[in-house]
């Protein structure tokens, strides 16, 4: 079993964008909400939620995912 590493922690909106970027680069992201409710168990996250979430990836994808997240954050900082 591979280790899983967190590459992002922040808003639900950013996590969804990051997960899409990862997916576009053939990396499976795992989104985990810090909200404790029954919907979390169904991997459902309220997109309107202000709750913070994490995005994690398998160890094999960590370096590439970390670079993509850094690029995303840099692009957001320029806005």
Residue 41 predicted with pLDDT over 60: no
Give the predicted TM-score (pTM) of the model: 0.77
What domains can be seen in the chain, in order of their start residue?
4-77 (3.30.70)
pLDDT confidence tier of residue 40, bands split at 50, 70 and 90: very low
Task: Give the chain as a DSSP string.
Answer: ---EEEEEEEEHHHHHHHHHHHHHTT---EEEES--SHHHHTT---TT---EEEEEEEGGGHHHHHHHHHHHHHHHHT-
pLDDT confidence tier of residue 24, bands split at 50, 70 and 90: very high
């Amino acid at each position: 079993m591979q280790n899983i590493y967190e590459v992002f922690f922040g808003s639900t909106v950013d996590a969804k964008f990051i997960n899409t970027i990862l997916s576009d680069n053939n990396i499976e992201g795992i989104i985990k909400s810090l909200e404790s409710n029954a919907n979390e168990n169904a991997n459902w996250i309220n997109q309107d939620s202000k709750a913070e979430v994490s995005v994690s990836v398998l160890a094999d994808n960590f370096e590439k995912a970390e670079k993509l997240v850094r690029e995303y954050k840099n692009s957001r900082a320029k806005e």
